[in-house]
Amino acid sequence: MTDSSDIAGRVAIVTGGSRGLGRAIALRLAGAGAAVAVNYRSQGGAAEDVVAQIRSGGGKAVAIGADVSEGDQVRGLVDRVRAELGPIGVLINNAGIGPVVDLDELTEEVFDETITVNLKSAFLVTQAVLADMRAARWGRIVNMSSAAARGPGLVGPHYNASKAGLEGLTRGYASRLASEGITVNAVAPGPIDTDMAEPLKRGGIADRIPMGRMGSADEVAEAVLAMAGNAFITGQCLAINGGTIYT
């Protein structure tokens, strides 16, 4: 059971929080009583819209632009969140890209960018917020993986590798932080109906899902909140994929 009261009053960062899954997660955390920093790289207007929606419901939120694959920008992001909202207790590593590239056209540049944005960013932001969580002896970190981490996937091997690495990162941090009251988990969505999934929708992906439809961003956000609200789950990956893959 999600204990959202444990989230109330905490400060949360959602990377890539301006749209899609990040937007839904930010709104769900705010609904549970967290003050939310909505991080974005280029979609400033969309991030401000999320903040406005949270504030209109009586919540507290700020939009902060930063490329979380760059260490200096991550440090600036975390410093601003501390100054404007307070010590960080919840981190959702959601920022990511999924360029659909045929195997014969996959380049070193695309591979490196995907690993950097999807995996390195989670490492950088996690490292930057640990001081606050350790001082409080309380923290909740949820990394956004994918069904592609354990299956063939539809985007490409660069994406598979980035998400599989993210699950390894999750287990590595979880094993080392459990005794300090900090949980680290992952959520692995299958095909979800967001803008990022447009190429998959055009390919008829819904017909290959046992439930006959793609998932919604709100359903994923619900799973993230469940992970963040449980103090005894750590090092785990929750699959949410409509029965496409069983783990």
pLDDT at 203: 60
Evaluate if residue 13 carries a pLDDT over 50: yes
Evaluate if residue 226 carries a pLDDT over 60: yes
CA distance 92 to 223: 12
Residue at 215 is within a domain: yes
Domain count, the chain: 1
| Active-site residue, from 40, 159, 173, 246 | 159
- The fraction of the chain above a pLDDT of 90, given in percent, is 83
Residue at 245 is within a domain: no
Active site (annotated) includes residue 40: no
pTM of the model as a whole:
0.93
Instruction: Report the pLDDT averaged over residues 65-86.
Output: 98
Residue at 247 is within a domain: no
Residue type, 98: G
What value does the mean pLDDT of the chain take? 93
pLDDT at 196: 66
Instruction: Report the pLDDT averaged over residues 33-48.
Output: 97
Residues spanned by the domain of 127? 4-240
Poorest-confidence range of 3-12, 48-57, 94-103, 232-241?
3-12
Evaluate if residue 1 carries a pLDDT over 50: no
Give the CA distances from residue 22 to residues 98, 109, 111, 143, in Å, rounded to whole numbers and listed in that order: 15, 25, 23, 11
pLDDT at 202: 58
CATH number of the domain to which 177 belongs: 3.40.50.720
pLDDT at 133: 98
Q: What is the pLDDT of residues 158-178, one digit of tens each?
A: 999 999 999 999 999 999 999
CA distance 237 to 92: 14
Residue at 150 is within a domain: yes
Evaluate if residue 157 carries a pLDDT over 80: yes
Question: Using 50, 70 and 90 to split pLDDT, how confident is the model at 128?
Answer: very high
Question: Using 50, 70 and 90 to split pLDDT, how confident is the model at 218?
Answer: very high
